[in-house]
Structure 1
Amino acid sequence: MIQKADYIRAYADRYRDMFAVRLTTIVAVILVAAWVLDWGWAANFGLIQLGLYVLLWRTVEIARTRPEAPGAGRRFRLRTEWITLGLASHNAVYILAAWWVRPDTIDYLRLLLAGNLMVGALQVHISRRSFLAAVAPPSIAAMIIAANQPQATPTLKFAVALFVLGIIAAAWRQWRGDRETVELMVALTERSRQLQAALGQAETDRAAAERANKAKSRFLAMISHEVRTPLNVILGLTEVLRGRRRPKAEAVVIDDMAEAGGMLLRLLNGALDISKIESGHSDLQIAPVDVAARIEAIARVWRTRVAELGLTLEVVLDGDLADFAVLTDQARVEQVLINYLSNALKLTPAGTIRLVAQARPQADGRIALSLEVHDQGPGVPEDQRERIFQPFEQLAAGRAAGGAGLGLALCRAAAEGLGGSVGVRPAEGAGAVFWFRFTAPRAPVETDAEAAPTAPTPDAPPALRVLAAEDHPANRKLLALLFQSFGLDLALVENGRNAVDALRADRFDLVLMDAMMPVMDGVEAVRLIRAEEAVEGRPRTPIHMLTANVFEDDVARYRAAGADGVLGKPIQIGALQALLEQTAASAVPA
């Protein structure tokens, strides 16, 4: 019994397809009847057959348009079976009646009977009963005619029976083929529906992913801005202090502050860049890195915290490691080591944490580096060693220590960005060894002069006039201190509207514009300044964005508005000095 709407619709379509052939057959029979018998017989055949086909047409259309209606399959099956029986029975009775009245037309009637048997048997049938209804009446009529002819011999009767059975066998095979065709059509329809649903779901997922990506971008932009703004003040003031004469003890503390702040900034950049690292589109900042010096600097910054927890930090460096530098991304290396050390401090209740580094030259001239952090914590079960490097996956000890489950995922992403790998193995005795391995080309070690941090120096010409738009009071204070050390004329305003008004009233050699400000943001202010310069014919004032929002999309937006460049926060003193020197060299002082 047909139940599914797809089967009903498929069979209804097959019935529709056969109407043209059946109606052509009826017209042919009508013409033959009018020629052999008379128009009365022809009219009788045509009216009854066409009337039954009208009923069949309505049945098929109802099934096609309402296949989901309750009981639609059963009604469709029963009606087509009865109509098929009516069509076949009328054919058989009609030919028997014509034979009875006009026995001289027997040859024509045999041909009509054979044709009707073949057409009826080979048409679409929804069930076995429908097939039986189509072939039984004409088969019986053929046997009656063969049995009641005076000249009929057993051989003729056998031949007729064989002919009928042959037609029935061929029609049965055709019926099975029709069923398989319908099942295939239904399967294709179902598959098409599944594909459409999958495409719809994929589109929904894509839209959701886009929304999530936009939300992530907004979140990262907010985190970047909110963290970089105070970090800008800390690092900027540290650089100001480093440029002044201090007792040696204070200078060491300030250097440690600058070192810690730089590590924090690099960690922030790495964390914000994890999606790019995982997608393989991260831009590595490749530069000569003295790995031994970086490890010593990390250990120096962390020893205070280690001592507060009653632990010991031991650094073990390969003897050859201090003799060279490698070309790699310093921020990625630091990110892995700092995360490893942070986890070790959380999970080691007492004892010693060891930071071990080894370097081995390779045949191709590269250096294979192995960095390890040995803790004395609870260790990592073997079946969990891969899982903990997945985002938000952590052991019970990590959750108890307050971790978010992102640190080791960041380590793996950073290592893979460098073409390396990370992992964990059991430590001797107790604890775990978290390792990080990568290879890098060898590079010359920087001299002390090259590696020394750049302190602010009053090298820029004092004739330059600079306008800075900055809404954050601490950042305005920092800019005032920096430009005081440069000996430059600096005008400070609190928003983009004030910057536009200041440029209308006076000339400046350079504008430093924050992006996010009240009243009027920096992008809108830059756009308005460029428009007014074009309308009034004013000289183009160099404008550089000074902002914590330095994602690629942000930079493209600033450039599109008319900005000449971007300085990120925290302010890099060297980059600021280079900009001032470039401005002084290319502009006539205001």
Structure 2
Amino acid sequence: MIRIKYIDQNIAKILVNDPDPLNMVRARFLAQGLSSSLIVLLLTLPSFYIHAQHLLFFRSVLIIVAQVGLIWVLLKTPKWKLVAHLTCIIIAVLIWSNLFIFLQGIKIISLQFMLLLVVLSYYLLGIKWGVFYSLLSILFMGINFALYGQAAMLTIHNQIEVDNYSFLIVFIFNFLLIIYIQHHFFYAFNETIKQLKIKQEEEKKLNEKLQETITISEQLSKAKTNFLSTISHELRTPLNGVIGMSDLLLLDNPRKEQEENLNILKFSANNLLNLINDVLDINKIESGKVDIEKIPFSIHELINSIFAGFKNRATAKGLVFTLDCSNELNELGVIGDPTRLTQILNNLIENALKFTKDGKVNLTIKVIEKNSKNIRLYFCVSDTGIGIPVEKQELVFESFSQASTSTTRNYGGSGLGLAIVKNLLELHQSNISIQSEVNVGTSFSFEINYTLFDLNQNIPIEPNNKSIENMDISGLKILIAEDNQMNTLLMRKLLAKWNITPDFASNGADAVEAFKTNDYDLILMDIHMPIMDGYEASRTIRNYGDTVKSAVHIIALTASVALDVRNKITEAGINDYVSKPFNPEELRGKIEEIASHKSV
């Protein structure tokens, strides 16, 4: 059968929206069959004309014209079923017209057409029409035998050369058998197609429900993220006032009992801040918003800094805190994420100190494997604390879970520390291992692969929270854009201790107007303000006509911890930012840096 690419492409284009792929196959089969038979008819037409077979000639011409029309309908419209019916009717007409053209009986060609009609009707139009056109064929045979009787059988006998009676029995049986096979096969085939359609519909509905569920889940996740960002901002803003005022009062040389009370207040506020940060961290990790950085740093310096930070806390609690660090790491530089490694170790050490009443906590770091390019390091934090039962050891790595319901009451905490550690290590393609025995102690260990780095190259220095030098910054002209009255009072008191009298603006629009009428060395810009926020105010300042004036240094003071806050700050032209609650020494360090550039 001829396969014409043009025909296939046209039918595919016309039936592109047909939900049943079998219909396209049927239409293509029909078009190819009509095209093939058209060529055959065109080739036989001269023979009929030469041998003066006028009836066959004119019948062939009519069929050719009909086929051309049918092919045109197939290629221009989706009415392939109509074409299939008309094709079956043409074949039936061919069969029945043979009664008048071949009066001597049934020709083999008629039998072929009959079988063709049975097959086409079943496969193109289905069971009901298959039965109908099959009955037409049977009726044709019956009429032939009724009209011509013995002559019909003799005609077949002369063509087939078989016994008349035997031929009649076998012929009828075979013909009925063919019809039965076609009927039975197509029935099974049709049932299979129906089942597939049902499955497709079910799958479509399931996919729609799944997509709907995914959409709802994404909306809930986005809503959760926005909620956490908003509630965090609302919590961090008053915390900034509490911690800031505690710092200011501690700088006023309070009496001993006052200092003790202030330290308790500050400690409690910092615990609340740590809880907020943990919730936000686990949300960032679960949202896939945390990426592992690839920057060079010194393992030795980082570990010693962490150790020094916890040493005093351990001593104050009466614990021995030891460091077992391989000497091989002293001059070793690696490329990785020092911030996330610090976060992992901080969480593990804080846990160890929290759950150890007496005894010791140990931090161990050693080299497992090393070559010219890479190094594999082993980290372990062990303690002599309360321990974790075997059946609870997997539970402690789940968010908001602890080994016992009494743990929170006795030791505090949110149950997020180890969940954060586990997730951060997974981002490092690593896992955490635990060994613990109740009332004996616990050890957490993990391994991380790093790329080696030459420490003789320049390593970016992370800013610390300590003032770079005790320089005079009283001459700086500073504008503070802040809408919260508590924070305004805090900033006024803090800067007064540094002999700075700043100007204040209660929103971004007022800040822009103050900027236009005054010359400032620094603008401390809150992000969330009424009328005009800090982003828009900063962009307006950067677009000001005076390029020297518009280059004023801007530091964002924000309680926002939205995942894209850094990008937005950079895009707005803000030079730097300090998160609320902020450490006064961190802010002073940044101000002193600006003052030093001004003096130069």
Same fold (TM over 0.5): yes
Q: 1:528 to 1:483 in 2, by over 3 A?
A: same
Could you tell me which residue of structure 1 aligns to residue 113 of structure 2? 116
Q: Look up the equivalent residue of 2:107 and give its one-letter code.
A: R
Long gaps (5+) in structure 1: 66-79, 304-313, 346-351, 445-449
Please give the secondary structure, in 2, of the residue aligned with 1:333: helix
1:528 aligns with 2:540: yes
- Which residue of the other structure, out of 536, 547, 554, is the alignment partner of 2:565? 554
Please give the secondary structure, in 1, of the residue aligned with 2:502: strand
Q: Look up the equivalent residue of 1:123 and give its one-letter code.
A: L
Is the contact between residue 478 and residue 523 of structure 2 (CA under 8 Å) also seen in structure 1? yes
Aligned residue runs from structure 1 range 96-107, under 5 A: 96=99, 98-100=101-103, 103=104
Q: 1:13 to 1:529 in 2, by over 3 A?
A: same
Counterpart-to-counterpart distance in 2, 1:24 and 1:18: 10
Counterpart-to-counterpart distance in 2, 1:165 and 1:476: 104
Aligned residue runs from structure 1 range 433-512, under 5 A: 433=442, 435-438=444-447, 454=466, 459-512=471-524
Aligned residue runs from structure 1 range 137-216, under 5 A: 137=139, 141=144, 146-149=152-155, 152=158, 155-157=161-163, 200=208, 204=212, 207-216=215-224
Long gaps (5+) in structure 2: 1-18, 456-461
- Greater alpha carbon shift after TM alignment, 510-519 vs 205-214: 205-214
Is the contact between residue 523 and residue 553 of structure 2 (CA under 8 Å) also seen in structure 1? yes
Counterpart-to-counterpart distance in 1, 2:401 and 2:367: 35
1:225 aligns with 2:236: no
Q: Deviations over 1:48-86 (max 9, x none)?
A: x99xx9xxx9xxx99989xxxxxxxxxxxxxx9xx97x9
Q: Look up the equivalent residue of 1:485 and give its one-letter code.
A: K
Is the contact between residue 383 and residue 442 of structure 2 (CA under 8 Å) also seen in structure 1? yes
Counterpart-to-counterpart distance in 2, 1:249 and 1:419: 50
Please give the secondary structure, in 2, of the residue aligned with 1:359: strand
Counterpart-to-counterpart distance in 2, 1:111 and 1:408: 86
Counterpart-to-counterpart distance in 1, 2:564 and 2:401: 31
Q: Deviations over 1:26-46 (max 9, x none)?
A: 99999989975769x969x99
Q: Deviations over 1:206-264 (max 9, x none)?
A: 54454334323322322332333233334434544565656789778877877776676
TM-score, structure 2 as length reference: 0.64
- Greater alpha carbon shift after TM alignment, 223-232 vs 151-160: 151-160
Is the contact between residue 477 and residue 522 of structure 2 (CA under 8 Å) also seen in structure 1? yes
Aligned residue runs from structure 1 range 62-461, under 5 A: 94-96=97-99, 98-100=101-103, 103=104, 110=107, 112-125=109-122, 126-127=126-127, 129=131, 132-133=134-135, 136-137=138-139, 141=144, 146-149=152-155, 152=158, 155-157=161-163, 200=208, 204=212, 207-240=215-248, 265=273, 268-277=276-285, 279=288, 281-283=291-293, 288-290=302-304, 291-299=306-314, 315=319, 317-318=321-322, 320=324, 329-338=341-350, 356-359=361-364, 361-363=366-368, 364=370, 368-372=378-382, 376=386, 379=389, 381=391, 385-391=393-399, 397=405, 406=416, 408-416=418-426, 421-422=431-432, 427-428=437-438, 433=442, 435-438=444-447, 454=466, 459-461=471-473
Q: 1:237 to 1:571 in 2, by over 3 A?
A: same
CA RMSD of aligned residues (A): 6.0
Counterpart-to-counterpart distance in 1, 2:550 and 2:464: 39
- Aligned sequence identity (%): 19
1:567 aligns with 2:578: yes
Deviation, structure 1 residue 563: 2.5
Q: Deviations over 1:450-487 (max 9, x none)?
A: 99973697523422110111122332222223222222
Q: Look up the equivalent residue of 2:533 and give its one-letter code.
A: D
Is the contact between residue 320 and residue 359 of structure 1 (CA under 8 Å) also seen in structure 2? yes
Could you tell me which residue of structure 1 aligns to residue 15 of structure 2? none
Is the contact between residue 470 and residue 495 of structure 1 (CA under 8 Å) also seen in structure 2? yes
Counterpart-to-counterpart distance in 2, 1:89 and 1:488: 106
Counterpart-to-counterpart distance in 1, 2:59 and 2:366: 103
Q: Deviations over 1:281-340 (max 9, x none)?
A: 145997613454444445467x5xxxxxxxxxx745457469999995433323344457
Please give the secondary structure, in 2, of the residue aligned with 1:544: strand
Q: 1:576 to 1:562 in 2, by over 3 A?
A: same
Could you tell me which residue of structure 2 aligns to residue 542 of structure 1? 553
Counterpart-to-counterpart distance in 2, 1:456 and 1:265: 26
Deviation, structure 1 residue 131: 7.7
Counterpart-to-counterpart distance in 2, 1:193 and 1:477: 66
Is the contact between residue 544 and residue 565 of structure 1 (CA under 8 Å) also seen in structure 2? yes
Counterpart-to-counterpart distance in 2, 1:373 and 1:223: 36
Could you tell me which residue of structure 2 aligns to residue 69 of structure 1? none
